[in-house]
A = this chain, B = another copy of it.
């Protein structure tokens, strides 16, 4: 499916870093690099009509995934999609209202979970996987293609609440009041997410990232139960079918000890660090074991100028000589000036 064959993979410096090598130069990509800060993205988004059409129409998904590669030459492309495709393909209603964020049919008890599909609806997922294959075929040989999914905990927070919430209280409360239901929900998501990532890897993704955007609200025991253990099982299931699968975990807001436990328990190839991470301590604890990805504060990329330069220099110094993949500590924001992205890339690549 990957028209480029294995011969090209050696050039992919993001993949090299994930394999534990220190590349000759620091690879760069940005979370949400295919997004609203780009006029060419906004043009496609307008044409597509709604957000979900963008995700499920391969022509659109391929195009917006490739846009930031064409413009900036990032070292990795990441599939344009959304973490809520998984609950959608399990049968939840899903819509994105302008300025409102996602709305799902809530799943708050065993009966509502029972009404969902047990496996992902191929009529939805196959369109995403078609986009993956086509992106890989169109990408420069040296560019790594990343697939992704949301981590079960984070996806569950949206499913239980039926929307995004400031503190993920509905899911946290459900884990206390109805642990049997909540465990079954996480189990369903572990299984579905594993199949989804296997599909993406078979369709041509060189690596996959698991986004646990709300890991930071969990106490240490809950972090083990709802972040580490589900990711561990996904990694295990995926590697049972794709033995060399490269996997990045991004448990946003995790503590250093939480990150360390996660790395040891799951065997992921890399961890993403948010902008609050203690970089040197993290490198000391984990740098020899996994690649470290991150962690420029996206607000410095809005600020630009000396604040941006200083933040980049500090980051590059902290990770100099490590298996480091430059990224933001969170997704790029729509109001970010493109000139600042260009400045960032120049500063890193010299």
Contact = CB atoms under 8 A, between A and B. Distances in A.
Interface of A: 166, 169, 172-173, 176-177, 179, 216-221, 253, 255-257, 275-278, 281, 297, 299-300, 302-303, 307, 314, 333
Nearest to A168: B299
B218 A169 contact: no
A177 B176 CA distance: 43
Given A177-B307, A256-B255, A172 B299 contact: yes
Nearest to A308: B176
A169 B216 contact: no
A182 B314 CA distance: 21
A38 B307 CA distance: 47
B173 A219 contact: no
Nearest to A179: B307
Contacts of A297: 172, 219
B307 A219 contact: no
Most chain B CB atoms below 10 A, which of A172, A219, A277, A300: A219
A257 B278 contact: yes
B276 A217 contact: yes
Contacts of A257: 256, 278, 281
Given A172-B299, A216-B253, A256-B257, 11 more contacts: A166-B166, A169-B333, A177-B303, A177-B307, A179-B307, A216-B216, A217-B276, A219-B276, A220-B276, A220-B278, A255-B255
24 contacts: A166-B166, A169-B333, A172-B297, A172-B299, A173-B299, A173-B303, A176-B299, A176-B302, A176-B303, A176-B307, A177-B307, A179-B307, A216-B216, A216-B276, A217-B276, A218-B276, A219-B276, A219-B297, A220-B276, A220-B278, A221-B314, A255-B276, A255-B278, A256-B257
Contacts of A219: 275-277, 297
A209 to B, nearest CB: 21
Contacts of A256: 255, 257
A333 B166 CA distance: 14
A277 B179 CA distance: 22
Contacts of A333: 169
A166 B216 CA distance: 14
Contact of A173 (B220, B276, B302): B302
Contacts of A220: 276, 278
Contacts of A169: 299, 333
Contacts of A176: 299-300, 302-303, 307
Most chain B CB atoms below 10 A, which of A166, A255, A257: A255
A297 B223 CA distance: 14
A200 B216 CA distance: 35
Contacts of A275: 219
Nearest to A178: B303
A216 B173 CA distance: 22
